[in-house]
C-alpha cells in the first residue's frame, strides 16, 4: 500500500476535523423547512468554507517546511545566501526559521574562514624555499609548489599524475625521516634534508614529502667565512705589500741611476755581476709584490660583489656577444628561443665569460670544440656550455675558493660565477657529459612568474 505524503495526511486530518460540523449543518439544513434554492446556496457555502479552510491549513503547515527544506538543501550545496522570510519570535515556526537562518550565517562565516585559511596555507606553501610534494595512495603526485617545479625542472602539467618513481623521488619516500642525502635533480644538486609523513584526505591515505636544500645555506655560511678571511688577509697583505713594493721600486731606481753614473758598472765597490743580481732581485720582489696585490684584489671581489642591478636583457645577444669574445677557438652557438630576462647584464656576462673561458681551456688540450646554447622552461631559463675536453677529475672542490687545476689560475672564477647565479635566484652546476667526453655547465635562472596557488590535480 502506498504511503500517504505528509501534506495529504494534514489535509485528511483537516477534512476530518471539519466533517462532523459540516454533516450536522447540512442535515439540519436539508431536513428543515427551507426552500430548495436557499438549501443549495447554504450547502455550497458550507462545503466551500470546509474545503477552503482544510486546504489553507495544509498550505500553512507544508509551505514553511518546504522553505526549510530548500534552505537546508542550499546549505548542503554550500550556498549560504538563502534566508527564510517571516522569521520572528513569539511562535514556534518563526523561532525555527530564526535558528535555521543563524545556522546558515554561522556556516557561511566558517566556510569563509576555511577558504581564507586554505588560501593562506597554499600561499605559504608556494612561497617557501622547500620543495613540497603530496602523493596519493598510488604514489601519484597530486600537489607540488613552485620550489618543487624548479627542482624537477618541469611544468606542473607534466608533473601532476606522475608516479614517485617516474619523478626520481621514490628513494626520498623510503627509509627513516628526517635524514640527509646527496641527490642530483634536474633543477639542482647538493645535500638535501628529507622529511616525509602520512595524512588522510577523503578517507584515503596520502603522503607528504618535503625537501630542503642544505647546500645553499651551508654555502652562504662558507662564503661569509671566506669573505671575512679574505678581508683580514687582504688588509694585512696590502699593508705589507705597499711598502715592500715602494721600497723595491726606490732601490731599483737608485741602483739603475748609480749604474748610469758609474761608467764601469761598479757601484760602491760592488762588481757589475753583483749589481746585476741586485737589480734582478729587486725586480723579482717588485713583480711578485704587484702580482700578489692583483691576486688579492681578485679575491676581494668575493667580498664586494654588489647586488644585481636588474634590467631587461636579450638572451640571444648576451650569448652571441660572449661567444665572440673567445678568440682562441670558435665557439658554436645553438640557437634557442628569442626571449628577454630581467638581470644584471654585467654580472651575467662575466659569469658566462668564465664558463666559456674554462671550456676553451679544456677543449684546447684535446683539440675539441665548445658549444653554448640556451633553453626556455616554464619557469626558468637554462644556459648550457659544453666542451670536448678531458672532463672533470675532481668535482668535490670545484667551488672551493683558492682551488684550481689550471697553471696560473686563481681559483676564483667558478666561485664568483656561482655567487652571481645565486644572487639572481638561480644555480650553477658542472658535471661530466654522459654520452660524450667533456664537461657540461648549466646555469639556471628563474623567470618572473605570476603569483598563484599550489598546483593540484583535480
Give yes or no: residues 80 and 26 share one domain. yes
- Contact in structure between 343 and 308 (CB atoms under 8 Å): yes
- Most confident of the following: 91-100, 288-297, 368-377: 368-377
| Domain boundary, last residue among 168, 190, 213 | 213
Which tens digits make up the pLDDT trace of 176-211?
A: 878 888 887 777 777 888 888 888 877 888 889 998
Residue among 378, 389, 381 nearest 432 (CA): 389
pLDDT at 271: 64
Which of 284, 304, 324 lies at the terminal end of a domain, its last residue? 304
Instruction: Find out whether 322 and 349 touch, Cβ atoms under 8 Å.
Output: yes
Question: CATH number, domain at 175?
Answer: 3.30.450.20
Same structural domain for residues 137 and 256?
no
Task: Decide if pLDDT at 427 tops 50.
Answer: yes
Q: What is the pLDDT of residues 7-16, one digit of tens each?
A: 888 888 888 8
pLDDT of the residue at 337: 92
pLDDT digits (tens, 9 = 90+) for 141-182: 988 888 888 888 788 888 888 888 888 888 888 888 788 888
Residue 8: phi and psi, rounded to 5, are -70, -35
Residues whose CB falls within 8 Å of the CB of residue 140, separated by 6 or more in sequence, listed in order: 161, 162, 163, 164
Q: Are 232 and 198 part of one and the same domain? A: no
- pLDDT at residue 341 is higher than 80: yes
Residues 91, 167 within the same domain: no
Give the lowest-confidence range in 124-133, 236-245, 448-457: 448-457
Same domain for 396 and 427, yes or no, is yes
pLDDT digits (tens, 9 = 90+) for 210-225: 988 877 777 677 667 7
- What torsion do the CA atoms of 54, 56, 58, 59 make, to the nearest 10 degrees? 170
Least confident of 85-89, 298-302, 340-344: 298-302
**229 CA to centre of own chain:** 33
**Please, which pLDDT band fits residue 451 given cuts at 50, 70 and 90?**
very low
Cβ–Cβ contacts within 10 Å for residue 10, how many?
Answer: 20
Which of 53, 82, 110 terminates a domain? The answer is 110
Q: Which of 97, 148, 155 is nearest to 127 (CA)?
A: 148
Q: What is the pLDDT of residue 457?
A: 45
List 201's β-bridge partners, or say none: 204
290: its cell numbers: 704587484
Residues 105 and 230 in one domain: no
| pLDDT bucket at 458, cuts 50 / 70 / 90 | very low
Q: What residue numbers bound the domain in which 51 lies?
A: 6-110
Q: Is 140 exposed, middle or buried (0-12, 13-18, 19+ CB in 10 A)?
A: middle
Residues 195 and 261 in one domain: no
Please report whether residue 117 resides in a domain. no
Q: Are residues 132 and 235 in the same domain?
A: no
> Mean pLDDT of all residues in the chain?
80
The pLDDT of 104-126, averaged and rounded, is: 80
Q: Is the pLDDT of residue 304 over 70?
A: no
Q: Has residue 404 got a pLDDT over 60?
A: no
pLDDT at 263 > cutoff 70: no
pLDDT of residue 282: 72
Answer yes or no: do 157 and 243 share one domain. no
Same domain, 242 and 316: no
For residues 278 and 385, membership in a common domain is answered with: no
Q: How many domains does the chain have?
A: 4
- Domain assignment present for residue 452? The answer is no
Reported as a pLDDT band with limits 50, 70 and 90, residue 370 is very high
Amino acid at each position: 500500500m502506498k504511503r500517504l505524503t505528509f501534506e495529504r495526511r494534514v489535509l485528511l486530518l483537516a477534512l476530518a476535523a471539519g466533517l462532523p460540523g459540516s454533516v450536522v449543518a447540512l442535515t439540519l439544513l436539508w431536513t428543515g423547512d427551507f426552500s430548495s434554492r436557499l438549501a443549495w446556496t447554504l450547502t455550497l457555502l458550507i462545503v466551500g468554507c470546509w474545503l477552503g479552510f482544510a486546504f489553507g491549513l495544509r498550505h500553512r503547515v507544508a509551505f514553511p517546511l518546504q522553505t526549510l527544506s530548500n534552505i537546508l538543501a542550499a546549505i548542503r550545496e554550500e550556498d549560504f545566501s538563502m534566508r527564510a522570510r517571516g522569521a520572528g519570535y513569539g511562535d514556534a515556526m518563526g523561532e525555527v526559521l530564526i535558528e535555521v537562518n543563524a545556522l546558515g550565517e554561522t556556516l557561511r562565516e566558517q566556510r569563509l574562514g576555511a577558504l581564507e585559511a586554505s588560501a593562506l596555507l597554499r600561499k605559504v606553501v608556494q612561497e617557501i624555499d622547500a620543495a613540497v610534494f603530496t602523493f596519493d595512495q598510488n604514489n601519484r603526485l597530486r600537489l607540488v609548489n613552485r620550489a618543487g617545479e624548479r627542482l624537477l625542472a618541469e611544468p606542473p602539467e607534466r608533473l601532476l599524475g606522475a608516479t614517485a618513481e617516474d619523478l626520481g623521488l621514490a628513494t626520498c619516500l623510503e627509509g627513516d625521516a628526517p635524514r640527509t642525502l646527496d641527490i642530483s635533480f634536474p633543477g639542482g644538486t647538493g645535500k638535501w634534508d628529507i622529511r616525509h609523513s602520512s595524512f588522510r584526505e577523503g578517507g584515503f591515505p596520502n603522503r607528504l614529502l618535503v625537501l630542503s636544500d642544505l647546500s645553499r645555506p651551508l654555502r652562504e655560511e662558507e662564503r661569509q667565512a671566506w669573505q671575512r678571511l679574505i678581508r683580514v688577509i687582504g688588509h694585512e697583505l696590502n699593508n705589507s705589500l705597499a711598502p715592500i713594493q715602494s721600497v723595491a721600486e726606490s732601490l731599483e731606481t737608485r741602483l739603475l741611476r748609480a749604474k748610469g753614473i758609474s761608467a764601469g758598472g761598479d757601484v760602491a765597490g760592488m762588481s757589475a755581476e753583483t749589481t746585476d743580481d741586485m737589480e734582478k732581485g729587486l725586480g723579482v720582489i717588485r713583480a711578485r709584490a704587484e702580482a700578489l696585490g692583483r691576486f688579492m684584489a681578485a679575491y676581494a671581489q668575493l667580498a664586494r660583489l654588489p647586488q644585481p642591478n636588474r634590467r631587461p636583457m636579450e638572451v640571444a645577444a648576451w650569448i652571441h656577444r660572449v661567444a665572440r669574445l673567445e678568440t682562441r677557438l670558435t665557439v658554436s652557438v645553438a640557437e634557442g628561443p628569442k626571449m628577454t630576462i630581467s638581470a644584471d647584464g654585467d654580472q651575467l656576462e662575466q659569469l658566462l665569460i668564465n664558463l666559456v673561458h674554462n671550456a676553451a681551456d679544456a677543449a684546447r688540450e684535446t683539440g675539441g670544440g665548445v658549444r653554448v646554447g640556451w633553453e626556455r622552461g616554464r619557469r626558468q631559463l637554462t644556459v648550457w656550455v659544453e666542451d670536448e675536453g678531458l672532463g672533470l677529475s675532481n668535482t668535490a672542490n670545484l667551488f672551493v675558493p683558492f682551488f684550481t687545476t689550471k697553471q696560473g689560475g686563481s681559483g676564483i672564477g667558478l666561485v664568483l660565477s656561482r655567487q652571481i647565479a645565486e644572487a639572481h635566484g638561480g644555480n650553477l652546476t658542472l658535471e661530466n657529459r654522459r654520452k660524450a667526453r667533456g664537461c657540461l655547465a648549466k646555469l639556471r635562472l628563474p623567470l618572473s612568474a605570476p603569483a598563484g596557488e599550489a598546483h593540484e590535480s583535480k
